Amino acid sequence: MAEVKVPTLGESITEATVGEWLKAPGEPVALDEAIASLETDKVSVEVNAPVAGVMGQQLVAVGDTVNVGAVIATIEEGAGAAAAPAAAAPAAASAPAAAPAGDVEAAALSPSVRRAVLEHGVDPSTIQGTGKDGRITKEDVVAAAQGKAAPAPAPAAAAPAAAPAGARREERVRMTRLRQTIAARLKEAQNTAAMLTTFNDVDMTAVMEARAKYKDLFEKKHGVRLGFMGFFVKAACQALKDLPAVNASIDGDEIVYHDYADISVAVSAPQGLVVPVIRDAQDMSVATIEKTIGDFGKRAKDGTLKMEEMKGGTFTISNGGVFGSLMSTPIINPPQSAVLGLHRIEERPVVRDGQVVVRPMMYLALSYDHRLIDGREAVTFLVALKNAIEDPTRLLIDL
């Protein structure tokens, strides 16, 4: 019998929460197959089987907090172990039994499948799984969302009783460890920093024209689409070089200045906001920046970002415009001292050379720690960013 232990979760992370069991007692397990999912302060981590055999006892239940190195389950080694029934531990008495083929309601969903379900907004109980033992795969979810697969009829007994007209309902859902950490860090930022936000707007005409002119050549040469974030990251790096206080942090009674720009990019994931870091962005081309951001976004949705990829960072860019935000006051990501908020682009009347014309405009917001950054520096930073975006061709296109 082999013990399954909580793996090392990363520097300074000593505990996690059991998110879900991916294998039920009595189910066959392959070597290195994921049997459980743990939620840490930053990402979900899968626990893999140390040996092949049959799933034995689950020593902890979903929602329990476990420490690194703790034994959370056992596995009966060898193919012959299937003949020996595995008794579930009392803590896991509520764990579901092995699901028969096709029974998608009882089958456990892997983290990637669960994220796909949340992303596409489909009901997993209506999907006919094509995976092993009738389990739902990520492809099944995508196909169901696109209407390519006929949904499996839900058992009649599973249909909930109709609620009376006008009934008021409440549902209590335990906060994930990631959501708890986000809440604590945001409140910490408000309690610690002397936070202030300054605004400006930027005419996106030049960037949009440059993008339209060079996008085909850019994609052909670099193998990635030319977006707006590459322009803003590059422009921010240049502005941070001229205004080092915006790229600095406070450590006790000292100010730490950085001669590099590690840009944190806020990315929305199914379980909450994550902020991976583009390291040494000041040395990157627009193409490399775009590739890095695209990779972060994809892996954030899949839940495969590594914890070390979200550590550090000297400055954050958050793009609420992708969700339609017109204006916001973003909150600083400690111990950083500033965060740039981008917003949606919309046509507005502006005055150019004495004439009222329509231009694609975007509001910019810089929230900063007034203990370190003066208003002059904050405004100068936004003006420098605005100037770079409004004249990007010579400075930002890597062609």
> What residues act catalytically?
370, 374
Of the candidates 136, 142, 26, the one whose C-alpha atom is nearest the C-alpha of residue 74 is 26
Are 182 and 273 contacting, i.e. CB atoms less than 8 angstroms apart? Answer: yes
Phi-psi bin for 131: left (phi > 0), alpha (psi -120 to 50), beta? beta
> Measured between alpha carbons, how far is 333 from 275 in angstroms, rounded to an integer?
9
Please give the biggest Cα pair distance in the chain: 86
Are 176 and 184 contacting, i.e. CB atoms less than 8 angstroms apart? Answer: no
How far apart are the two ends of the chain, measured CA to CA in Å? 60
The count of C-alpha atoms lying within 13 angstroms of the C-alpha of 359, restricted to the half-sphere facing its C-beta, is 18
From start to end of 9-80, where are the E strands? 15-21, 28-29, 34-39, 44-48, 53-58, 65-67, 71-77
Of the candidates 284, 281, 285, the one whose C-alpha atom is nearest the C-alpha of residue 312 is 281
